[in-house]
Structure 1
Amino acid sequence: MKNLIITLIITACTAISFAQEKTVALEEVEVTGVNYKYLDALGDGFVAKPVKILEQKVANFDLTSIDGYEDEENEYFVYFKIPVGKILAVYDKDGEIMRTSEKFKDIRLPLAVSNAIVEKYPGWSIEGDIYLVKYIKDEKISKTYKLFLQKNGEHKRVKTDDNGNFL
């Protein structure tokens, strides 16, 4: 019986010593985002995947990588293009986005926009759409959907914002 108790005590002490957590020191990392204001202005709302990917490329673009970069210039105009759209971005000499003009055609619509069309125009189908974004640093961003509707040979053009409010 004594041997059993001594064995249990030794086993318990050994288990406790192995259960000690080791602390690991991690290096401090500084995260900087020159164009966080642009990404914040775009918001986390629904937007089609190709649009989001291109906007991320615009935000992460390294201005110093382009031919002809000189620190003395005040503005740099950079044009980004994919099959469904394009973005013209204006950067300052530090690589910060000053303004953008964005245009995308026939992309997937946000649910709020689709629902607004179905409610206001029952029986109409969407033939096409154009998504426009205007960003100017330190100003309110403008997001507009131009929709082309069709029903029985009749055509309409309507505009909404990204929340489905008609303009």
Structure 2
Amino acid sequence: MKKLVIGLMFLGITNLVVAQSNQYVHGEYLAGEYLAEVTILSSNSTYMNNVLDVNTPAQIRNLEAEAARYDVTEHPKFNEEDFDSFEVIFEQPNARIIATYNDEGEIIKSYERFKDVILPKNLVKQIMMEYPGWEFRSDTYLVKYYLGKDVKKYYKLQLIKDNNKVNLKVDPTGNVL
């Protein structure tokens, strides 16, 4: 029994040593793995860094990421005309981004409108503290981005209580504007 256990341990250690060796492929040894070439486009990282924050709802993140990843140089009309900017509209139900790209494919401005989004918890909590007993009737999230300028992000909210309505313009942290 003792010889069996020692024999199995020896085989296990030997197996690990073999797993560490170089591979022999097509008549030569390969010392590592080779990956296919990958191109990373970071021209719109400035856009993403400015429009996203920790409280951005998933629906908004997804459409903004789609706009940032979009390669405008692949658009059929991109090379047909000489232009300073190129506008592309991204739409989903209750969401729309109008993004303007320069001739290098970088987003230079965008206007974004999202209706009936899931509001960040901190925003809901802040509003409920300031307006106890009121209910949310509608919400719209707006983003205005211009390259090199501060991004403007705010919610337009409508609250109701009994027969009364209140319209609020609130930044993502809950401050009433």
Q: Same fold (TM over 0.5)?
A: yes
1:93 to 2:90 alignment: no
Q: How many residues align?
A: 163
Q: TM-score, normalised by structure 1?
A: 0.84
Amino acid at match of 1:18: N
Q: What are the residue-to-residue correspondences of 1:10-89 with 2, within 5 Å?
A: 13-20=10-17, 21-22=19-20, 24-27=32-35, 29=38, 31-70=40-79, 72-89=82-99
Give the match for residue 28 of structure 2: none
Tell me how far 1:14 sits from its aligned partner.
4.1
Greater shift, 42-51 or 85-94, is seen at: 42-51
Greater shift, 17-26 or 61-70, is seen at: 17-26
Show structure 2 runs of 5+ residues with no match: 23-31
User: The residue matched to 1:19 in structure 2 has which SS?
Assistant: helix
Q: Structure 1 vs Structure 2: percent identity of aligned residues?
A: 30
Kindly provide the CA deviation profile for residues 3-42 of structure 1, in whole angstroms up to 9, marking residues without a partner as x.
Answer: x77x877665544322124264243755332211111112
Q: TM-score, normalised by structure 2?
A: 0.80
Show structure 1 runs of 5+ residues with no match: none
C-alpha spacing 1:128/1:10, structure 2 compared with 1 (3 Å): closer
Instruction: Give me the CA root mean square deviation.
Output: 2.3
1:137 to 2:147 alignment: yes
